[in-house]
Structure 1
Amino acid sequence: MASKTSTTGLAVPSKRLSRLWHMGRATTDFAAGIGLRGMIDMARSREGDGQRIRLSPAATERLTNRLARMRGAVMKMGQLMSMDGSDVFTPEAAEIMATLRDRAEPMPLSQLNRVLTAELGKDWNKQFKRFEFQPIAAASIGQVHRAETRDGRRLALKVQFPGVRESIDSDIANLGFLSSNFGMMPEGFDPKPMLEEARLQLHQEADYEAEAASLQAYRALIGDDPDFLVPAVHEDLSTSRVLAMDFANGVSIDQLTASQYSRSERNRVATLMSRLMIRELFDFALMQTDPNFGNFLYDAESRRIVLLDFGATRAVPPALIDGYRVLARATIANDRAGIRQGAIALGYIGDEIPAEQAARLIDLVSLSSEIITSDGPYDFGSSTLFERVFARGRDMFQDKQFSHMPEPATMFLQRKFAGIFMLCRRLRAEVDLRAMLEPYLLDTRVLGTLTDPSQATRSDIANAADQVSPATLA
């Protein structure tokens, strides 16, 4: 979670017009960096992999700095763009954009003191034996400081940027204005429900008391799992704008490079993260939906993965769980009727869309599901799936094939799925996702006979099926 930050800092722009101005400047920087020729090529291109966005280092640096200064919802969007920019940006631009994942401008010390005084009292510093004013990380909503209390507790203290919570509504309104007036959405596609869902989600992320409750609930679900660690909350030093938790050692999970870690270790980490994602959906019905790589640390000494940042934790309704189960079953079986049924249940396809449009959407879902239809471990390191999905989706956008608004709640689940798959790609890992999924796709009566579906082998599945009479399942 470590990042290079300055101690001087810049104040967060909080007025709507001020933030719209900064957002407009970011858009201008982006357009100027691509150039007229590049924008025409982007609009016309159907070549796929050869048409990545080419931003000069100077233009990319200006765009990144602008988003980093704004923090809040706008920076969160930039972080999503940068999760694996190699699919969209050239490698040079993607490397610079990647700094958004953990490089917001820290707040000035005077602002930091005002926040801590307002939240913990005017003598807040007397509660600490040591407090490091240099933040170890600064992201879209807050920054993190190391501290040690008088009674010896080693903490990570997350402190929210002033003005970020108040700027969420204006940021979302500005994004709606830009998307409606600059051709960022398909014709006939109303972004209002999706933006409203994003607005509510960001308000939840900015409520550290809600995050503390989610962290404690998730910690109880993880229990004493030897592969994962969820830090404990320290309620006596936590408020709605300050969150105190155990300090945990580790490096950001995407830093497990081939030069420092073996393929088997990278495969293990990617497999653990993928299995956890599946358990979140089917076992926990509770998912941490922010896949920012900085939210996951790897402690090489204990070989445990540290899970951080539960502001974006969402309960998953049973109907969505069933929809994903139907869709996964159908894609593995190459059952197009079943894929359509699952896609309708999840809101990807409307009941009344034309047959040709539905067929193209089903083709896109089938293509995206390549990672779970392959028999055996899927090699993310050599895969070109992300480029192919990007190119297919762009073609459909240009042909006005997206006219139905999906269920807004799925947007955040898809964000997590995509983030874990991008992590697997970043680690150049081989992961057998199909084997992990298969136990959860069984008839519920067979599934109920498995003690731990997340650890079930194909032999366990066969034995479980034998315990349930075929007549009962008929």
Structure 2
Amino acid sequence: MSDLPRKAVTRTAKLAALPLGFAGRSAWGLGKRIGGLSAELVGHDLQQRTAEQLFKVLGELKGGAMKFGQALSVFESALPEEIAGPYRATLTKLQEAAPPMPTSTVHEVLAEQMGEEWLELFQEFDDQPAAAASIGQVHHAVWHDGREVAVKVQYPGAGEALVSDLAQLSRFARVLGPLIPGMDIKPLITELRERVTEELDYDLEAEAQSLYAEELADDPDVVIPDVVHQCPQVLVTEWMEGVPLAEVISEGTEEERDRAGQLLARFLCSGTARTGLLHADPHPGNFRLLPAEESGDGAGEWRLGVMDFGTVNRLPGGLPPVIGTALRMVIDGEADAVYELLCAEGFVKESIELEPAAVLDYLVPVIEPAQADSFRFHRGWMREQAARIADPRSPAHQLGKQLNLPPSYLLIHRVTLSTIGVLCQLGATVRMREEMEAWVPGFAEDEDEDEGVGEGVGAGGSPEEPSSAAETPA
């Protein structure tokens, strides 16, 4: 296997070939239509061929290209089902694996970061990587004290690759956009670029993971591996077995899917309230289902294992209360109150006037999961929502173009949409309202606005680290 392609000219050439390939296939598609095939059939074929080429290139390049692919992958539920199958298979490969770097390179990084005698820190070290991600790969090993560990080694040149790839991809945002209906690609790439420096620093990742592990140490439902050793480009954590969430999506039973979905929703809603950090990389490759320890009667339930804390949003007070308050108002049908709150928070610009009832109609379908006692997430529902927002002829599309997402809410918005995408891939039935009432400030109807939710956590203010991008809320 080759090393991570590091020369900017090589990476740029590969990425630059993508839109040229798209243009070539579009011309091919026009020929097919002239030959008598319907626009719908030709469009589906083009989308499938485009997806195959896109994710083949992203997987080979790793770096920012693969990071973009992983972020995009959770939205495959929005694709028409007849082409989602091949697309899904390609995306799953991105989530779980990528071509590994040579063993000699791995040893060089370990020696540079941990010292020439690095091997003495381990009882065993497997040179064959157990998993690969966008900026590093993971090796299974046994630490000197006998603990099984995961050793994440950063690819040399990963920083340069991230910056170069995302800068190049931002130029193609308009071309890449049609891959996922209703998804604005450019703000996603912009936000990924702004997180580059933080994600490259494994010391920061270790700090975030340690905080989560400490706060959730006694949690019966969620497992966070402890940090064992850290360096700027090498991170050693406790090893975690379990069933990859991608495998649950493809082969899991209904019970496993529902359990995974419930735990994922609980982690999304409760994690920030309990730690002040939002885990901001919710693609299936970062989650496992683990068998719970058996109780006294011999019964046990699955737990959710969570990995990769390289991308987090720091929200010391938890989620902004305006989110829960606005969602509750939408459920209660309080159109004027919702509109007034959205205007005050900058979701509606001062220069724009909208009809409160129309805004309410736009939002109601999005919060369906929180209205019922339980809600079954599924790909059909996701496609309906994507089509509603993406169709230029629809009132929802026209209204969505006039709404504004304040930069400070961008990452929260993306994480929420991504988690919903994974829940739809699972096809899980989830008691979302229950989790939101327990953990989301402002959502519970009988909640005192001056008091916190969940386990006594205070209500949060605006997010502390805003992104500079803007995105239309969906």
TM-score, normalised via structure 1 length: 0.79
Which residue number corresponds to residue 472 of structure 1?
A: none
Q: By how many angstroms is 1:259 displaced?
A: 5.9
For the 8 Å contact 2:19–2:175, the answer to whether it is kept is: no
Alignment of 1:79-228 (within 5 A): 79-88=70-79, 89-179=83-173, 197-228=191-222
RMSD: 3.6
After superposition, the Cα gap between the structure-2 partners of 1:447 and 1:435, relative to the gap in structure 1 and judged at 3 Å, is farther
For the 8 Å contact 1:253–1:297, the answer to whether it is kept is: yes
Q: By how many angstroms is 1:80 displaced?
A: 2.2
Kindly provide the CA deviation profile for residues 10-63 of structure 1, in whole angstroms up to 9, marking residues without a partner as x.
22233443332221223334454566548999xxxxx99x99843587764433
| Whole-Å separation in 2 of the counterparts to 1:183 and 1:420 | 20
The runs of at least 4 consecutive aligned structure 1 residues that moved more than 6 Å come to 38-41, 180-184, 190-194, 397-400
After superposition, the Cα gap between the structure-2 partners of 1:57 and 1:325, relative to the gap in structure 1 and judged at 3 Å, is closer
SS, match of residue 12 in structure 1: coil
Structure 1 residues without counterparts, runs of 5 or longer = 1-8, 42-46, 185-189, 455-474
SS, match of residue 54 in structure 1: helix
For the 8 Å contact 1:52–1:87, the answer to whether it is kept is: no
Tell me the percent identity: 27
Aligned length: 430
| Whole-Å separation in 1 of the counterparts to 2:274 and 2:338 | 23
Which residue number corresponds to residue 366 of structure 1?
A: 364
Q: By how many angstroms is 1:126 displaced?
A: 2.6
Which residue number corresponds to residue 277 of structure 1?
A: 268
For the 8 Å contact 1:197–1:409, the answer to whether it is kept is: no
| Whole-Å separation in 2 of the counterparts to 1:156 and 1:268 | 26
Kindly provide the CA deviation profile for residues 101-145 of structure 1, in whole angstroms up to 9, marking residues without a partner as x.
122221122221221121112222232221111111001111000
After superposition, the Cα gap between the structure-2 partners of 1:211 and 1:268, relative to the gap in structure 1 and judged at 3 Å, is same
Structure 2 residue 348 is matched with structure 1 residue 352: no
SS, match of residue 100 in structure 2: coil
Which residue number corresponds to residue 68 of structure 2?
A: 77
Aligned with residue 21 of structure 1, among 1, 13, 28:
13
After superposing the two structures, state which structure 1 stretch, 73-82 or 23-32, moved more.
23-32
For the 8 Å contact 2:382–2:424, the answer to whether it is kept is: no
| Whole-Å separation in 2 of the counterparts to 1:136 and 1:164 | 19
For the 8 Å contact 1:197–1:408, the answer to whether it is kept is: no
SS, match of residue 231 in structure 1: coil
Kindly provide the CA deviation profile for residues 389-438 of structure 1, in whole angstroms up to 9, marking residues without a partner as x.
21122124997762665233433222322232233222322112123223
For the 8 Å contact 1:320–1:346, the answer to whether it is kept is: no
After superposing the two structures, state which structure 1 stretch, 200-209 or 51-60, moved more.
51-60
After superposing the two structures, state which structure 1 stretch, 84-93 or 130-139, moved more.
84-93
After superposition, the Cα gap between the structure-2 partners of 1:121 and 1:329, relative to the gap in structure 1 and judged at 3 Å, is same
For the 8 Å contact 1:379–1:430, the answer to whether it is kept is: yes
After superposition, the Cα gap between the structure-2 partners of 1:182 and 1:450, relative to the gap in structure 1 and judged at 3 Å, is closer
Q: By how many angstroms is 1:363 displaced?
A: 3.7
After superposition, the Cα gap between the structure-2 partners of 1:275 and 1:149, relative to the gap in structure 1 and judged at 3 Å, is closer
Structure 2 residues without counterparts, runs of 5 or longer = 34-38, 179-183, 294-301, 458-474
SS, match of residue 129 in structure 1: strand
| Whole-Å separation in 2 of the counterparts to 1:301 and 1:31 | 51
Which residue number corresponds to residue 380 of structure 1?
A: 377
Q: By how many angstroms is 1:273 displaced?
A: 1.6
| Whole-Å separation in 2 of the counterparts to 1:432 and 1:453 | 22
| Whole-Å separation in 1 of the counterparts to 2:43 and 2:91 | 14
For the 8 Å contact 1:29–1:63, the answer to whether it is kept is: no
TM-score, normalised via structure 2 length: 0.79
| Whole-Å separation in 1 of the counterparts to 2:111 and 2:209 | 25
Aligned with residue 393 of structure 1, among 389, 397, 402:
389
For the 8 Å contact 1:26–1:67, the answer to whether it is kept is: no
Which residue number corresponds to residue 59 of structure 2?
A: 68
After superposition, the Cα gap between the structure-2 partners of 1:217 and 1:282, relative to the gap in structure 1 and judged at 3 Å, is closer
